[in-house]
Amino acid sequence: MRARLIYNPTSGHETLPHSVGDILNVLEEAGYEASAYRTTAKKKSALKEARRVAQEGFDLVVAAGGDGTINEVINGIADLEKRPEMAIIPAGTTNDYARALKIPRDDVVEAAKVVLKKQKLDVDIGQAGEHYFINIAGGGSMTELTYEVPSAYKSILGYLAYLVKGAELLPRISPIDMHIEYDDGVFDGKATMFLIGLTNSIGGMEQIAPNSVIGDGTFSLIIVKETNLRDLVHLITLVLNGGRHVDNPKVIYTKTKEITVKANDDNRIMINLDGEYGGDAPMKFKNLHNHVRMYANVDSIPLKALDTRSDEEKDVGEKIIEEEKHLD
């Protein structure tokens, strides 16, 4: 079996390159013939390498870096008929996806050792137009702060960089008039933001989508209606106090398989995919069920966050959903 480590040397505090040898040793111990690729400053470097090794028949691709690096690797393999298995080694700022999979986030070699446990999940990914995402998509003025945090700040300050920038931008946040269609309804009006999650970990917090289930074939959709600064502070407080924001009248919270977003009038809605700019609305989002097999610390993930149905039960569920669609 062959494994390719694709690592971003600038992620986190730029210490990842010093651990590449140790990571490769772990992969060899797990039974893989392992090699490494250091990403470059060229656009889509990680994406192109992931696609190349997938087409060459590699069995495993290991994405080492931040959420952006993981997103690139996913985009390199998502549309292929035969996809390699994946593992991730978090070395970025928020590391949301690693948090959800309970992969160690403070030691890259320990993160690599998750492969030794041979525990895997079939995970969903999201398709947004021609692009893909693995953890979170969103739009609205609150989601745009990600683009305004310089890379140098991220390397030096980590997650604190987002908090500092977020505090600076809060007074400038204004709602956008938008139209959002989802499985069970339609929202038409002004919203501060919308979020589409595949796990419960968004922006470093695990209570934003409290009933999110990995691999169940649905997104968690959160729409924050028109709010002022006081409303936003209150909602953040509710998030931190057990995810109680989902019951607030300013919030729509639901599960859905597909979402369509477009702007009303001449408004611009920039779409954020795993923390990176992914184009403008109109945009259609589709859940690709169990699309990638991923190494994870499965025995450390709460059962309520996992889809524990058998393959047969999942197939029956899919058939029922399709029949209901035809009846509609």
* Residues classed as catalytic: 276
Contact call for residues 101 and 74 (beta carbons, < 8 A): no
- Dig out the tokens for 122 from the structure: 């079939």
Report residue 244 CA to chain centroid gap.
Answer: 22
Question: What is the DSSP pairing of strand 176-182 with strand 33-38?
Answer: unpaired
The alpha helices in 117-247, defined as continuous H runs, are: 151-157, 159-169, 229-240
H helix and E strand count, the chain = 9, 15
Largest distance between two CA atoms of the chain:
58
Contact call for residues 218 and 255 (beta carbons, < 8 A): yes
Residues 6+ apart with CB under 8 A from 100: 135, 199, 200, 201, 206, 214, 301, 305
Closest CA to 191 of 236, 141, 259, 245: 141
| Residue 186, φ and ψ in degrees, nearest 5 | -140, 135
| Residue 285, φ and ψ in degrees, nearest 5 | -115, 130
